[in-house]
Structure 1
């Protein structure tokens, strides 16, 4: 871990620069520029609200904000995971010429997607004001929940970065797995509507479902998230991150040979 901390400090400016460059590149030839970062999740929220809110008569309180909170976290996780699988191969021109700690590539990509997630949460704040959602001190639970989201995503990305180098079809497998996880995460429905034991199995076995439900509880409904299981998944996320970093350092000399 000392090496990880030292490399992170050493290459921090590069990480920031790479993230800024990627954000600028995404909007360079677009007519709406950065507005797409707001428009895309907002349109998806409207689609889900229309289909599931009006046609299927979901009656969750503050349903539009309910969906948007879930989409903000899911989009962050989904984009980071998909990108990490081909991270080394996509940056072949860089990693094959100069030494660069591979986890800095993940950090840079997470900064880009994290910035977009923060924009989505800014919209959520606007929704809280517009719908006059009462807020109290429970909203402070957002901090440990988002820390766990970032840590879990980073750990998964580190592991998938390694696997993506050696397994060519890993991106296809991940796309299928993410589709399954999406429908088991409760983006547009309430998992608590499921009978037991399915409700507990999904909430405790799917960390994204647990974390998104916890965010909705503390932001929209002034209630405390499931702190014991939040703590458990924080420790699991920490273990995944430590293992992922160790595995990358152990095998990074092999990556250039494989790609």
Structure 2
């Protein structure tokens, strides 16, 4: 394991190159280029705001627009990272078959490049916070920690999905439907809250309770909203469990990658 980690560190130049090339490739053929990193999440928010508020007549809370933009921007980061992880290794098959490289470096590079994309989404969130006059409290100091925890979780999932998709390519098609379930089961466009929410407790809605307490996507979303718009300390217990599970997964996956490098090459 130590030698494998040292090999990854030696290839840090390649890691930086993969991150840089991945960022350039996203909007290479578009007229507006990198401006889409700001425009895409903004348009996404406007579409869902029109759907939920104007057409369906929901989202009655005063700060629903801010609630929505945080949910959609964070979800975009999660969704894009997980879905693109399916091809994190397979799309570099020509390089892998010619030169020895630690295969785990590819999902690591992908997760890192999507982090930079998310940072532009934070600019959109800041615009909405300013427009609606919401000033985050001192709890904003936890924002880098929440971003780090989310990155660790996505890195673990990305490494797992990238490895599985080398051998089972059909997972790529199934992921679209799985992510759709998580989208509607998480408080992204609908306002749920935590288990302590009176409406949830009184209704004894088991599915809703799971959606806002056990669902890792909901835990991440609520943590971002707590520090950005509610001036609250996030639920560190849920974040702590996620971090431990993610770190254990990363260690196990790194060991598994090391043991099965030859199988990956053969499968490609």
Report what 1:32 is aligned to: 32
1:51 matched to 2:60? The reply is no
RMSD: 1.7
Query: How much has 1:4 moved relative to structure 2?
Result: 4.8
Aligned-partner Cα distance in 1 for 2:171–2:49? 33
User: Equivalents in 2 of 1:11, 1:181: separation in Å?
Assistant: 35
Partner residue of 2:214?
205
Q: How far, CA to CA, are the matches of 1:129 and 1:96 in structure 2?
A: 50
The answer for the alignment partner of 1:42 in structure 2 is: 42
1:109-150 superposed Cα distances (whole Å, 9 cap, x missing partner): 122211110000022122222211022111122222211111
**Distance across 2 between alignment mates of 1:38 and 1:206:** 28
**Off by >4 Å, runs of 4+ in structure 1:** none
Query: Separation in 2 of the partners of 1:159 and 1:63?
Result: 35
Partner of 1:140 in structure 2?
Answer: 141
Aligned 1:122-201 pairs, distance under 5 A? 122-192=123-193, 194=200, 195-196=203-204, 197-201=206-210
Q: Could you tell me which residue of structure 1 aligns to residue 230 of structure 2? A: 221
Aligned to 2:62: 61
- Per-residue deviation, 1:186: 1.5
Give how far 1:10 is off: 1.1
1:157 deviates by 1.1
* Counterpart Cα distance in 2 of 1:69 and 1:29: 28
1:97 aligns with 2:107: no
Closer, same or farther: CA 87–60 of 1 in aligned 2, 3 Å: same
Measured in 1, the distance between the counterparts of 2:58 and 2:121 equals 25
Residues 68 and 120, structure 1, Cα contact 8 Å, conserved in 2: no
8 A Cα contact 2:187 2:212, kept in partner: no
Q: How far apart in 2 are the matches of 1:224 and 1:80?
A: 26
Q: Report if the CA contact (8 A) 1:135-1:220 is conserved.
A: yes
More displaced 10-residue stretch of structure 1: 3-12 or 157-166: 3-12
* Residues 28-77 of structure 1, C-alpha deviations (whole Å, 9 max, x = no match): 33211111111111111001111112332212332222222112221122
**Quick one: distance in 2 between partners of 1:8 and 1:190?**
42
Which residue of structure 1 aligns with residue 196 of structure 2? none
Match of 1:235 among 221, 226, 244: 244
Q: What is the number of residues matched between the two proteins?
A: 259
Aligned with 2:104: secondary structure?
helix
Q: Deviations over 1:207-248 (max 9, x none)?
A: 111111111011101112212121111111111222222221
> Any gaps of 5 or more consecutive residues in structure 2?
194-198
**Shift in CA distance, 105/54, structure 1 to aligned 2, threshold 3 Å:** same
- Which secondary structure state, in structure 1, belongs to the residue aligned with residue 33 of structure 2? coil
**Structure 1 CA distance for aligned equivalents of residues 234 and 4 of structure 2:** 32
Instruction: Give distance in 2, aligned partners of 1:233 and 1:203.
Output: 14
In the other structure, the counterpart of 2:6 is 6
Provide the residue aligned with 1:254 in structure 2. 263
Aligned match of 2:79: 78
What is the TM-score of this pair, normalised by structure 2?
0.90
